[in-house]
Amino acid sequence: MKRFPYFLFLIFFLGCSSQPRPQAKEARTIADDLGRAVRLEGPPSRIISFAPSLTEMIYALGGDDRLAGVTSWCNWPPQARSKTLVGDMMSPNFERMVSLRPQLAVMIGSRPGPLLKKFEALNIPVICFKDETVADIRRALNVLGLLLECPARADSMIKDIDSRLATIKAAVDSVPLPERPKVFAELGSSPLFAAGDSSFIGQMIALAGGINVTGNIGSSYAAVNPELVVKSDPGIIIVLHPQAGRKDIAQRLGWQNVSAVKNGKIYPGLDQDVILRPGPRFIEGLKILHEIFYAP
């Protein structure tokens, strides 16, 4: 936005630390998004976050004092970089994790994997979240609000998100479907990588009022033939990777007659974390996309 204001820092002046916490620990069981029943002996005070989106949510909820470790990918807010790094999803540092004495790890994933099994072998409780839809974001905020003992703050954040969504939806609904812009979201150039409608960015494009020209590629993400983009003739190209700029795209063989190229509607340099990351700032990314799609 020069930029949609960071909503998570605007309206929530009462952090989790300002809310009374129960004196006695109460055990509870949380059902995570994989259908697992995760038992916690009390509110966790030492949490490891294995996803940048979840780290952002924990900070937005005011629970960063309970964050013991984060991944090397957790870059927002800037303060997150001062937390102990525990590697990343591809190369976790289990020795360092164990040394942090975590009471809970939070991660994303739609199915059990080796990382989850390793946590279970170490007797570290793990809650897994899906991160594919706006509904997944709402649920993650709700669950984290309970874990961090600030459910009212989580509820306020969700209401704020829904209010902003409703504003954008009303604007989009006023535009007939045939008049909405065709959009190509480029996620990589070698090979040319695109997103289907089932992906998070695919849903963002639709919510912002665009038509995803690679929506029917058969999966959430896939390499595509450049000719597919040329034939679909997008009016807008958003570039969500650093390898290609306007000039690179305009000089591709056969792309000179693509409407987005002819009309200068190529948008590199966008904040990828805000647009691609299913965290609390996604609503800012949605507004960025909507403004691009309907710019004069």
| Residue 167 resides in a domain | no
Check whether residue 154 and residue 11 sit in a common domain.
yes
Check whether residue 154 and residue 180 sit in a common domain.
no
Check whether residue 183 and residue 55 sit in a common domain.
no
Check whether residue 202 and residue 101 sit in a common domain.
no
The pLDDT assigned to 280 comes to 96
| Residue 245 resides in a domain | yes
- For 75, what's the count of Cα atoms within 13 Å in the CB-facing half-sphere? 7
In this structure, what CATH number is given to the domain that contains residue 208?
3.40.50.1980
> Which residues make Cβ contacts (< 8 Å) with residue 155, sequence separation at least 6?
142, 145
Q: Return the HEC string of the chain.
A: CCCCCCHHHCCCCCCHHHCCCCCCCCCEEEECCCCCEEEECCCCCCEEECCHHHHHHHHHCCCHHHEEEECCCCCCCHHHHHCEECCCCCCCCHHHHHHCCCCEEEEECCCCCHHHHHHHHCCCCEEEECCCCHHHHHHHHHHHHHHCCCHHHHHHHHHHHHHHHHHHHHHHHCCCHHHCCEEEEECEECCEEEECCCCHHHHHHHHCCCEECCCCCCCCEEECCHHHHHHHCCCEEEECCCCCCHHHHHCCCCCCCCHHHHCCCEECCCCHHHHHCCCCCHHHHHHHHHHHHCCC
Q: Which of 100, 127, 158 marks a domain boundary?
A: 158
Q: Which of 127, 158, 189 marks a domain boundary?
A: 158
The pLDDT assigned to 296 comes to 83
| Structure-token match 């942090």, residue found | 100
Check whether residue 152 and residue 182 sit in a common domain.
no
Q: What type of residue is 133?
A: T
Q: Which of 158, 183, 216 marks a domain boundary?
A: 158
Check whether residue 31 and residue 138 sit in a common domain.
yes
The pLDDT assigned to 117 comes to 86
| Residue 267 resides in a domain | yes
Domain with 201, as residue range(s), is 175-293
Check whether residue 181 and residue 252 sit in a common domain.
yes
Task: Please give the tally of structural domains in the chain.
Answer: 2
Count the neighbouring beta carbons within 10 Å of the beta carbon of residue 167.
Answer: 13
pLDDT tens, residue order, the chain (296 aa): 333 333 333 333 334 444 444 445 688 999 999 999 999 999 999 999 999 999 999 999 999 999 999 999 999 999 999 999 999 888 889 999 999 999 999 999 877 788 888 888 999 999 999 999 999 999 999 999 999 999 999 999 999 999 999 999 999 999 999 999 999 999 999 999 999 999 999 999 999 999 999 999 999 999 999 999 999 999 999 999 999 999 999 999 999 999 999 999 999 999 999 999 999 999 999 999 999 999 98
Check whether residue 59 and residue 152 sit in a common domain.
yes
